[in-house]
Structure 1
Amino acid sequence: MSTELRDSLIYDCNYNLFIVKTMLPNIRNIQDRQTAVRWLRYLKTGANTIDEMKLRNDFMYYLVLNVQEGTLKPPFDKPPLPGSSMISMANLLPGVSEGGVCDINPPKTIKSGDSVIAGGAQRSEIMRRSPDGGAFLASQPIPDVGAFCYLSVITKKPK
């Protein structure tokens, strides 16, 4: 297993995870929001091999699109089946045939430079103002429960 590829797939997943968590309030229906959180938990724990990680990132990409729109479409409109492998659910993805072969190649992550507009709102203020477009923040761990706080202290030399 290539460490560089593995790290890249983990980074992409974490970034999309951050985006989904940021945009969850776009989903007005509380039950749908809970279903999206169940999908997040499932996707965070269901990938051990490179192929599973790639598939997880495909699922995560489509989950980002659903949450961005504010409505969940199949397969995200129902919670993931407990104990089922991600490989067995590959045919549920849009553009994937019965054999699990993807007919289209979606991007694996929404890049930090992309203008993500969800529910009429632009990216968060901190992401827009960040010099790196939010790349540093996206790589940080995000708690399942509680708050995410970021503090920055910058000093300038006196003129």
Structure 2
Amino acid sequence: MGEVAENLNYDCNYNMFLAKIMLSNLPRSEDRQKAVKWMKKLISCNKSLEEMRLRNDFMYYLVVNIQQGELHHPFTENPPTCALPNIANLLPGGVSEVADEEIGEGPTRRPMLYENSPDGGAFLAAQPVPRCGAFCYLAVVAREPKNNN
């Protein structure tokens, strides 16, 4: 695992720190208790690199929920006792909702990245995210002019 695992653990620990200091943003004690249960569950998810990446995705969205002062699905429920499910199926705008929209079964819109990217956002999704600082990507694409005939 090596350096990749160190980076993933660093990110998890940083988000855990943020979650702990912002826990008071949640006005309901039940929400704070659920958030703590999720943090305990997530800190134990470190058996493989894939599980660590998934854990970090959950941690990121948990921090966002705590920062906003309200828990949303899946954090409104207790964490699963088994392995973490794929987060894309649990979060608003996840893979299942995008698939539902494509077949006409949902009012949700696809994320702007998917709508405006020629590859549906696949390239950007595969890029590394830095531990500190920002990630910036700029692309210049030439398109053939439309024929007005």
TM-score between both structures, scaled by the size of structure 1:
0.58
Instruction: Find the counterpart in structure 2 of residue 93 from structure 1.
Output: 91
Give the equivalent residue in structure 1 for 2:59.
60
Percent of aligned pairs with the same amino acid:
44
Contact 1:66 1:72 in 2 (8 A): yes
1:73-129: per-residue Cα shift (whole Å, max 9, x none)?
Answer: 1111111122x211x34321344325xxxx775x9788589xxxxxxxxxxxxxxxx
Max Rg structure = 2
Gap regions ≥5 residues in structure 1 = 114-159
Question: CA 1:75–1:109 in 2, change beyond 3 Å: closer, same or farther?
Answer: farther
Match of 1:5 in 2: 4
Question: 1:140 aligns to what?
Answer: none
For 2:91, give the aligned amino acid: L
**Partner residue in 2 for 1:137:** none
Name the aligned partner's letter for residue 61 of structure 2: Y
Residues 121-147 of structure 1 show CA distances to partners (whole Å, capped at 9, x for unaligned) of xxxxxxxxxxxxxxxxxxxxxxxxxxx
Structure with greater proportional helix content: 2
SS at 1:47 equivalent: coil
- State the structure with bigger RCO (CA 8 A, min sep 6), 1 or 2: 1
Matched residues, number: 105
Return the alpha-carbon distance in structure 2 between the equivalents of residues 69 and 35 of structure 1.
15
User: Which residue number in structure 1 is paired with residue 42 of structure 2?
Assistant: 43
Alignment check: 8 A CA contact 2:54 2:86 kept: no
Task: Report the Cα distance in structure 2 between the residues aligned to 1:78 and 1:89, rounded to whole angstroms.
Answer: 16
Distance 2:11 2:133 in 1: 11
Partner of 1:148: none
Q: Is the 8 A contact 2:38 2:79 kept in 1?
A: yes
Q: How well do the aligned residues superpose, as a CA RMSD in angstroms? A: 2.5
Compute the TM-score of the two structures, normalised by the length of structure 2.
0.62
Which amino acid in the other structure matches residue 4 of structure 1? E
User: Residue deviations 1:19-48, cap 9 Å, x none?
Assistant: 000000010100000000000000000231
